[in-house]
């Protein structure tokens, strides 16, 4: 299976995708700072082509240093479609509560657990939207998003992606490390592209290159 996927997505295309992501995430983090006052550093992204059945193991080993995690999961739909996973250490929700500038009457009205969860969801929604949005913009696509979900897991390895994909399908996994500058929080962002959009991705990457040739 993975040999087959190599043939549909070449090393050259992988390099282009990495470069496009680099540009997209750079723009995302610049705009987040300038427009929304959220200061986040995104590392140089990494691209892997995996069989869907290998996904859980791959993500599990990437995040093995985290003891307990909170995951924000959001599906996105366009010609570019898949799932975004934002993985935080579990104490992140508490630290992030002030980032959207609230701490108003809401803190008294709701349980702290709910407040943390909703904060993760809202910050996660913006961060995922920024990264996926900029990527889609460069590749000339339009995206619709499902509402994000927050999962709290005791065991990171038992987490995510279990039933998300047909085990026989191939996924492009884009991984980046992010950290909020002023909050001392870092985590991982995974964008997992569905099998169905790989063909589109290949042609979109080529038309992206043509614009520069």
Partner 1 sequence: MISPRIFEVINIGLVILDPDLTVRHWNRWMELHSGIPEAEIVGKSLFDHYPNLNTTRFTKNCKSVLTFGNFCFFSQKLHRWLFPFKPVTSFAGMFDRMQQSCTMGPLRDDGNAIRQLFISVQDVTEVAAYERRLVELNTRDPLTGAFNRRFLDARLPDECERHKRYGRPLSLLMWDIDHFKRVNDTHGHQCGDEVLKSVAAVVGSELRLTDMLIRYGGEEFCCLLPETQIDTAAAVAERIRACVEAHCVKCGDETIRITISIGVSELDSDSAEQEALVALADKALYEAKSSGRNRVVARLLA
Q: What is the dihedral of CA 171, 203, 16, 22, to 10 degrees?
A: -80
Give min distance, CB of 56 to partner 1, in A. Answer: 27
Q: Which is nearer to partner 1, 133 or 187 (CB)?
A: 133
In whole angstroms, what is the distance from residue 57 CA to residue 64 CA? 10
Residue keyed to tokens 């990495």: 18
Give min distance, CB of 145 to partner 1, in A. Answer: 4
Give min distance, CB of 15 to partner 1, in A. Answer: 25
User: Beta-carbon neighbour count of residue 76 at 10 Å?
Assistant: 23
Token pair recorded at residue 52: 């869907």
DSSP bridge partners of 75: 83
Give min distance, CB of 103 to partner 1, in A. Answer: 10
- CA dihedral for 13, 40, 165, 159, sign (positive or negative): positive
What is the SS3 assignment for 200?
A: helix
Q: Which is nearer to partner 1, 136 or 198 (CB)?
A: 136
Q: Which is nearer to partner 1, 12 or 114 (CB)?
A: 114
Q: Which is nearer to partner 1, 10 or 142 (CB)?
A: 142
Q: Which is nearer to partner 1, 76 or 188 (CB)?
A: 76
Give min distance, CB of 25 to partner 1, in A. Answer: 12
Summarize as ranges the residues that interact with partner 1 (CB under 8 A).
28, 31, 35-37, 100-102, 104, 106, 110-115, 118, 121-122, 125-126, 128-130, 132-134, 136-137, 140, 142-145, 147-148
């Amino acid at each position: 299976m993975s040999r087959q996927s190599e043939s549909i997505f070449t090393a050259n295309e992988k390099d282009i995708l990495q470069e496009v992501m680099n540009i997209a995430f750079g723009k995302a983090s610049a705009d987040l700072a300038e427009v929304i006052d959220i200061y986040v550093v995104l590392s140089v992204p990494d691209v892997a082509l995996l069989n869907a059945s290998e996904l859980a193991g791959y993500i599990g080993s990437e995040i093995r240093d985290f003891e307990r995690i909170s995951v924000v999961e959001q599906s996105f739909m366009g010609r570019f479609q898949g799932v975004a996973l934002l993985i935080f250490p579990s104490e992140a929700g508490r630290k992030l509560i002030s980032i959207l500038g609230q701490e108003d009457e809401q803190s008294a009205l709701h349980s702290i657990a709910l407040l943390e969860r909703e904060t993760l969801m809202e910050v996660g929604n913006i961060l995922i939207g920024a990264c996926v949005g900029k990527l889609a913009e460069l590749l000339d696509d339009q995206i619709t998003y499902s509402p994000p979900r927050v999962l709290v897991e005791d065991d990171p390895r038992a987490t995510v992606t279990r039933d998300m994909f047909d085990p026989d399908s191939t996924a492009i996994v884009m991984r980046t490390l992010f950290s909020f500058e002023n909050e001392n929080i870092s985590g991982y962002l995974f964008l997992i592209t569905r099998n169905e959009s790989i063909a589109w991705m290949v042609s979109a990457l080529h038309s992206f290159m043509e614009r520069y040739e």
